[in-house]
Every structure is written in structure tokens, then in C-alpha cells.
Amino acid sequence: MTFDAARYTAQLQDKVTRLRDLLAPFDAPEPQVFESPLQNFRLRAEFRLWREGGERHYAMFSQDDKRTPILIEDFPIASARINQLMPQLKAAWQASAALSHKLFQVEFLTTLAGDAMITLCYHRPLDEHWHTAANQLAADLNVSIIGRSKGKRDVIGHDYVVEKLDVGGRTFSYRQPEGAFTQPNGTVNQKMLNWAYEALGDRPDDLLELYCGNGNFTLPLATRVRKVLATEISKTSVNAALSNLDENAVDNVTLVRLSAEELTEALNEVRPFRRLHGIDLKSYEFGSVFVDPPRAGMDPDTCELTRRFDNILYISCNPETLAANIAQLHDTHQITQCAMFDQFPWTHHMESGVLLTRR
């Protein structure tokens, strides 16, 4: 892959133009643009393994052809740590039948701080010989190893990596579990967090956060408000978020395992939820809501819920659904800040953010 700076700049400008055009009907201000490194920006990668010439090779497939493998030795868009580990891991499985037998997929998860975890996926049970070899591999590479086989999981070291991100003059520590969602571009994620931190500003009231994940935004935003009610439906992400809140001594956040749709029902008093037992929703003085929904955006009821708040801070991985949600809110809220984050260089995907304030 050629990392041509001029080509990157042209692609970036195309994304900015696309976002600007989508938000033009809402009189959006000119977006702030946050660029990505041209290479070594992706902190996670997943590869199938393909046998050819009597050896297993890292392989990927194009979206147009899922049958013809593209054999690779390195992956320049992935982090330097992943590129360092790829040949070391390949040499290890080539030298060990215990590691290579029926190995079909490899996953890497790394951090800006240099922590690394490798998941090895097998079409066979993992035996004592595998454990001996995997323990040695973890020690040799200074990584955690996860072995996966037919619904079972063996952990050597930790089943997470720890990321450290600087936001608002403070370093936050994030536990990122194996298999859970994390932002792939750590450099741009840090820029995104700082933008959201500044956009929210210091506030005397409370924040509602929907889709909080592992607490990526929760931790820094909690330092800007009186208290936070945050929701997330994934058990893995909830457990990671609770660990992250504790690790960073953030004690003004109440986290509940509810979907955004369920919380909407709870706030509308449609029905009670046992998971809200002991939480007095009426004690909150919400001035702002923060949302980071999946690609489908907010459903109409959740979107309508956000209308109640003076400030809506919205991070989106899909500008089309962002624009559709803003269309529903435009009669009561206006865009006062706008940003484009190039989380996914060399693709058409982008992350964007807006701050909507009540008219």
C-alpha cells in the first residue's frame, strides 16, 4: 500500500465535503477536522490463516471476493506493535505443532501505550501441549494469549489490554477486554475525546450518557458535570466500564445495563426496570445528553428523548443517520459545533461529532 500524503489529503477533503453537504440544511458551522496518521494507526487486526506451500500464512479477503485469499506478511495500517508481532508469531507456529495444529484465525489487540494481546482460534480442543507452548509464547513475546476453541476460552496473562489516553490535562487508564468494542484508531480517539471534553465544558448540572461502552467518553466527561447516569447493554462493556471507573477513581457515575430504548421507557415511566432498583431518576438535573450510537443511529423514540435536554453532544460513525437524527431535532435544536474525525483513513468511513443546543 502506498501512503501518499497528497492522496490522503484529497480523500480527507472528500469526507469533509460529504459531511458539510449532509449538514448544510441545518446551517451547521464549518467542521473542525482531525486528521489521522497515514500508517500504523490501527490498534487491532484480525487475520484468517491460509495453507499454501505446506505453511500457514496470514490472509485477508477483499469485499468483492471472499474465496481468493490475499496472503500478507505485514499490515502497514496496523500499529507498529502488531507489525512487530506478526513475523514473531508466524515463526512460533511454524516451529510448534502444538501452536499450529488446526489454527485458523489470529486476532491482535494493542494500545498506544504498547500493551498487546493475541487471540488464537482453533478447530480443536486445547490440550496440555498447547498450554505449555502458549505460556512460553506469551513470555517470549511479552503479550497475553487467549486460546479459543469451540466456545471455550483459555487465558494466559490477561483477557484485556490497558490503554492510557490524555484528555483535558489528565491521563485516563482504560481496560479494553478481548472481544469487546474499542475505538480502532487510538490517536484519533484521543483527539475525539478532547473535542467532546471541550464541547461539553464545565457544567453545574448532570449528564445522561447513552451507549457508554467501556466508558471511553464517560471518564473524561464525568469530570465536567455534577454526576452522570450512563447506560450500556453489553455485559462485557459494562464490566469493563465499572473497572475503568474504579481504576480512575471516578465516583460520580451510576451505570445501568439498559438499552437506550429501555431507558427511554423508564424515563417516560412506561414501565419499571429491576435494574434501576435504588436509582432515583427524579433526583437528576439533566442539562446535557451524550450519545454515541451504532451505525443505525438513534431510533425515533430515543431521538425524541434527547430533545428534552438543552445540550445534545452526539458522536456518530455514520453521517447519514446523524443527519437523519438531526432532521428530527432541528426544530428545537441547532448545531453550534461540528467536527470530523478521520478514524478510518483510506476508506470512505468517518466519525463525526456535533453539539446541538436548544434554540
Burial environment of residue 347 by CB neighbours within 10 A (0 to 12, 13 to 18, 19 or more): exposed
Query: Does residue 87 lie within any of the structural domains?
Result: yes
pLDDT-derived band at 2, boundaries 50, 70, 90: low
Model pLDDT, residue 341: 98
Distance CA 76, CA 39 (A): 6
**136, 168 Cβ separation under 8 angstroms:** no
Judge whether 262 lies within some domain: yes
The two counts, helices (H) then strands (E), for the chain are 10, 17
pLDDT of residue 179: 86
DSSP 148-185: EETTEEEEES-SEEEEEEEETTEEEEEEEETTS---SB
321-341 confidence digits (pLDDT tens) = 999 999 999 999 999 999 999
Residues 359, 334 contacting (CB under 8 angstroms): yes
For this structure, is 351 an active site residue? yes
pLDDT of 177-235, one tens digit each?
998 888 999 999 999 999 999 999 999 999 999 999 999 999 999 999 999 999 999 99
Tell me how long the chain is.
359
Helix, strand, coil share (%) of the chain residues, nearest 5: 35, 30, 35
CATH code, domain carrying 302: 3.40.50.150
How far is it, in rounded angstroms, from Cα 204 to Cα 226?
A: 6
pLDDT class for 264, splitting at 50, 70, 90?
confident
What residues are designated binding site for S-adenosyl-L-methionine? 183, 211, 216, 232, 292
Q: Is 50 helix (H, G, I), strand (E, B) or coil?
A: strand
What CATH number does residue 108 fall under? 2.40.50.1070
**Binding site feature residues:** 183, 211, 216, 232, 292
Is residue 92 one of the residues assigned to a domain?
Answer: yes
Q: Are residues 265 and 190 in the same domain?
A: yes
Pair 76, 32 in one domain: no
What does the pLDDT read at residue 64? 85
- The answer to whether 238 touches 259, Cβ cutoff 8 Å, is no
Query: What are the residues facing 58 on neighbouring strands?
Result: 49, 72
Domain extent at residue 149: 44-161
The predicted structure's pLDDT at residue 29: 97
b/e per residue, 282-304, with b = 16+ CB within 10 A?
eebebbbbbbbbeeebbeeebbe
Same domain, 123 and 261: no
Would you state the pLDDT for residue 117? 98
Residues 334 and 209 in one domain: yes
- Active-site annotation holder among 121, 212, 303, 317: 317
Which tens digit of pLDDT belongs to each residue from 77-136? 999 999 999 999 999 999 999 999 999 999 999 999 889 999 999 999 999 999 999 999
The CB density around residue 5, as the number of other CB atoms within 10 Å, is 8
| pLDDT value at residue 54 | 84
Query: Would 29 be classed as within a structural domain?
Result: yes
DSSP single-letter state for residue 34? E
Of the three residues 128, 161, 194, the one that is the final residue of a domain is 161
- Is 169 inside any structural domain? no
Say whether both 187 and 308 belong to one domain: yes
Q: In terms of Cα–Cα distance, which of 276, 257, 256, 255 is closest to 266?
A: 276
Average pLDDT, the chain: 94
CA distances to 57, 100, 101, 118 from 96, rounded to whole Å, are 15, 6, 8, 16
pTM (2 decimals)? 0.93
Indicate the DSSP class of residue 258: -
Set 163, 178, 209, 351: catalytic member? 351
Q: Are residues 73 and 200 in the same domain?
A: no
Kind plus residue range of the DSSP H or E element containing 339: strand 333-341
The Cα–Cα gap between 46 and 210 comes to 28
* 193 and 291 fall within a common domain: yes
Burial (CB < 10 A; 0-12, 13-18, 19+), residue 242, is middle
**Residue range 243-254, pLDDT digits in tens:** 999 999 999 999
Confidence band of 1 (pLDDT split at 50, 70, 90): low
d(CA 114, CA 162): 9
Note whether 121 and 268 are same-domain residues: no
Question: Which pLDDT belongs to residue 62?
Answer: 86
Name which residue leads in pLDDT, 89 or 264: 89
Q: How many domains does the chain have?
A: 2
Q: Is residue 212 located within the same domain as residue 342?
A: yes
Q: What is the mean pLDDT of residues 2-11?
A: 90
Q: Is the confidence at residue 57, as pLDDT, over 70?
A: yes
- Confidence grade of residue 53 (pLDDT, cut at 50, 70, 90): confident
Confidence label for 36 from pLDDT (cuts 50, 70 and 90): very high
For residue 261, pLDDT beyond 90: no
Indicate if 113 and 221 belong to the same structural domain.
no
For residue 173, tell me if it sits in a domain.
Answer: no
User: CA-CA distance, 11 to 243, in Å (whole number)?
Assistant: 38
Would you say residue 168 lies in a domain?
no
Q: What is the pLDDT of residue 13?
A: 97
Same domain membership, residue 283 and residue 253 = yes
Question: Could you tell me if 136 and 61 lie in one domain?
Answer: yes
The answer to whether position 178 is within a domain reads no
Question: Can you tell me whether residue 96 is helix, strand or coil?
Answer: coil
